[in-house]
Amino acid sequence: MILLGRRNDNLNIRAAFLHMLGDTFGSVGAITAGVVIWTTGWIHIDIIVSLLIGGIILWGSVKLLRETIKIIINATPEDVDYEEVKQALLAIEHFAGLHDLHIWSLATGYPVLSAHIRLEPGCSDSAHWQECLWNAKVMLKKRFGITHTTLQLEPESFESEELHSKVYYRPDQP
* Rounded Cα gap, residues 164 and 161, in angstroms: 5
pLDDT tens per residue, the chain (174 residues)? 454 554 456 788 888 888 999 999 999 999 999 999 999 999 999 999 999 999 999 998 998 999 899 999 999 998 899 999 999 999 998 888 898 999 999 988 899 999 999 888 877 666 778 888 999 999 999 999 999 999 998 887 776 555 556 666 667 665
CB 151 within 8 A of CB 136: yes
pTM recorded for the entire structure: 0.73
8: closest CA among 109, 99, 137, 118?
Answer: 109
Cβ neighbors of 92 (< 8 A, separation 6 or more) are: 132, 135, 136, 139
Largest CA distance in the chain: 87
Contacts of 139 (CB under 8 A, 6+ apart): 88, 89, 92
Q: What is the pLDDT of residue 165?
A: 63
- Whether 115 contacts 156, CB under 8 Å: no
